[in-house]
Amino acid sequence: MALRETRPLVANDPVLLDFLELSEALPVSLADPDWQQRWVRSWHDLLGRGYALVEILRLFFTFVARCEQELTGDRETVGRVVLKLFSSLRRGVLAAVSCAIELGEEAHIDAAGMPGELAALRCLRDMLQANRQVGVLSISVVNRDSFAYLAASDLQRLPSMLAARIADRLRPVDKVFAGREGEWLVILPDVHAMAQPTLAAAHVAQMFGEPVSLFSGRSIMVHATIGAAMLPEHALDAENALHSARLARWEAGSKRQSFAWFDSSLSADWQQRYHQVEALHQALQQETLELHVQPQVELDSGRCTGAELLLRWRGTDGAWLAPQTVIDMIEENGWRTIYTDWLMRAAMRTASELDAVGIGIGLSFNLTVADMVDEDLPELLAQRLATWQIPGQRFTLELTESALMVDREKGLAIMSRLRQLGCRLALDDFGTGYSSLSYLVSLPINEIKIDRSFVMAMFDSADSLRVVSTIVDLARDLGMQPLAEGVETEMQRSQLLTLGCAAGQGYLYAMPMPVDEFIAWYRAQEARVAAAAAK
């Protein structure tokens, strides 16, 4: 549905009246989570009833202006803080609405003015009511994180550019819609055989095999996977048609293929994975991911000197998913930027909670491969540190060898900027990658973490013991601190101390735990250390 097709505001619409009532609660209700959820739902409901986004925004900002007038009155001179407050509120509203609509998958119109998923669903329903046979394609870019290399001007134009190229390969009657981030939905009306969507997908796949010339003059390759389904053969309603096409796309991606048809025999595992992705999508929207805290201790005394913040999320069955599985799903679906922003804010919140009870230890968290080619990352972190008024020295950022091998020059530049913020840098899982010693020497690293696989195998493999010893010696020679992961037994602790490794983390001391449990553990551990020192 195009913007010109949306209807004007109707004064007696109960949905609109509910939106007005919620907006009148500004600004005191902004911090109320229940109000926030009802407010976002009201945006969705209004868009779903065909109202123009620009009209809703205009209406909402009248309430913002009213709040501003109440606070500033008729004064000619207004404090800079007040002006910044309302400027930030306007920007925050736009960002929140954009994110909520995008993540809620109920957008009529995306940021480029392209009809969105809700419009696609309505189109499918109309065709079903007319008893027309329809083909559906779900097209998703699989290398979105490589876009971190792009200039802002290129990144802004790329989605609409790709959408136009997709449309050029299709029939005039075929319709292209914006789906999720990095996804397009194509509706192919009046298809009478599977060969027609297959041919359309082949034309689109051929397009994705060609370089894309950007506004800046450079060219990139964009890779995509395509899933196809037909109505009514593969689904009886619009929602399940999109679900089937997406499930087929997941199947294609799992087999490293560019295209796949929906098949009712698709494994239950893929059905489960699809639902996991749906649930993760919602968790990112509602910020229900968790950070658990694992202590890092002095191996000789047991004193807690720091902690690692580790991602935790319960899947659809209520069980914890492996963190790497969650990260993989986030990156596969192009949600890395959203996740990294959440991670930073959650880390700041954890530091603030610990400060409130007098625990001022350093905290570490992991960055992804794509983070280390994102030139905006240091600025984002600087903003978060400033907002929470926490010094960068409080945090250690953990990087993997593979993350640093993607683009060495850019990685070094980003690391240098992170160090300028005061943050410490740690090389995680060292010894499992392929970086050269000369490259390691050039890195502004403060800490080397010894992978748990080597620690666990020290008494079973002479090679593993030599690796641990070599890493400890190397760290000492380079002026870095070694820290062992996976310390689970007294024998391992003793051996690490003998080798010269003074710090570690693992189940010998504590499993990762929620922050409130960590606070209780920390206090008990401090008491144990003090009692041992008094003997």
- Model pLDDT for residues 315-365, shown as the tens digit of each residue: 888 889 989 889 888 877 778 888 999 999 999 999 999 999 999 999 999
Query: Rounded CA gap, 75 and 188, in Å?
Result: 59
More confidently predicted of 376 and 157: 376
Q: How far is CA 33 from CA 48, 54, 283, 287, 475, in A?
A: 23, 25, 15, 11, 47
Q: What is the pLDDT of residues 213-240, one digit of tens each?
A: 887 777 777 888 999 999 888 888 898 8
> 178: how many CB neighbours lie within 10 A of its CB?
26
- On whether residue 64 sits in a domain, the answer given is yes
Over residues 381-397, the mean pLDDT reads 96
Domain assignment present for residue 492? The answer is no
pLDDT of residue 285: 85
* CA distance to 48, 188, 235, per residue, from 121 (Å): 11, 13, 13
Q: Which of 74, 104, 134 is the last residue of a domain?
A: 104
Question: Span 66-77, mean pLDDT?
Answer: 57
Per-residue pLDDT tens for 95-134?
555 554 444 444 444 444 578 888 899 899 999 889 899 9
Show which of 104, 135, 152 is a domain's final residue: 104
CATH number at residue 164: 3.30.70.270
The long-range contacts involving 186-189, CB below 8 angstroms and separated by at least 24 positions, are 186/136, 186/137, 186/139, 187/120, 187/123, 187/124, 187/127, 187/134, 187/135, 187/136, 188/134, 188/135, 188/136, 188/137, 189/127, 189/132, 189/134
417 within domain boundaries: no
Asked if residue 43 and residue 140 are part of one domain, the reply reads no
- pLDDT for position 230: 92
Residues 135 and 36 in one domain: no
Number of H helices, E strands in the chain: 19, 15
233 falls within a domain: yes
Looking at the fold, whether 146 and 249 belong to one and the same domain comes out as yes
For residue 59, the enclosing domain spans 3-104
Report, as an integer, the average pLDDT of 270-283.
Answer: 82
On whether both 51 and 95 belong to a single domain, the answer is yes
Query: Of 266, 282, 299, which residue constitutes the final position of a domain?
Result: 266
The answer, yes or no, to whether residue 502 has pLDDT greater than 60, is yes
Burial of 84 (0-12, 13-18, 19+ CB in 10 A): exposed
pLDDT value at residue 385: 95
Identify whether residues 146 and 21 lie together within a single domain. no
Return the percentage of the chain with pLDDT > 90, whole number: 41
What's the whole-number average pLDDT of the chain?
82
Q: Is residue 277 part of a domain?
A: no
Judgement on whether residues 152 and 238 belong to the same structural domain of the protein: yes
Confidence at residue 117, expressed as pLDDT on a 0 to 100 scale: 85
The catalytic site residues sit at 485
Verify that 72 and 139 share a domain, yes or no.
no
130/259 same-domain check: yes
pLDDT of amino acid 7 = 46
Model's pTM, two decimal places?
0.61
The pLDDT value given to residue 111 = 44
Instruction: Please tell me whether residues 86 and 64 are part of one structural domain.
Output: yes
Whether 81 and 185 share a structural domain:
no
Regarding whether 121 and 262 lie in a shared domain, the answer is yes
Q: Identify whether 502 is part of a domain.
A: no
Residue with the bigger pLDDT between 496 and 58: it is 496
Q: DSSP characters for 265-307?
A: T--HHHHHHHHHHHHHHHHHHHT--EEEEEEEEETTT--EEEE
Is position 195 within any domain? yes
- Give the total number of structural domains in the chain: 2
Instruction: Please state which of the ranges 269-278, 303-312, 464-473 shows the lowest mean pLDDT.
Output: 269-278
Q: What is the H or E stretch that residue 430 is in?
A: strand 424-430
Candidates 203, 198, 255, 254; CA nearest to 229 is 198
Residues 17 and 96 in one domain: yes
- Decide: residue 309, CB within 10 A, 0-12 exposed, 13-18 middle, 19+ buried: buried
Q: What is the pLDDT of residue 38?
A: 74
Q: Is residue 530 part of a domain?
A: no
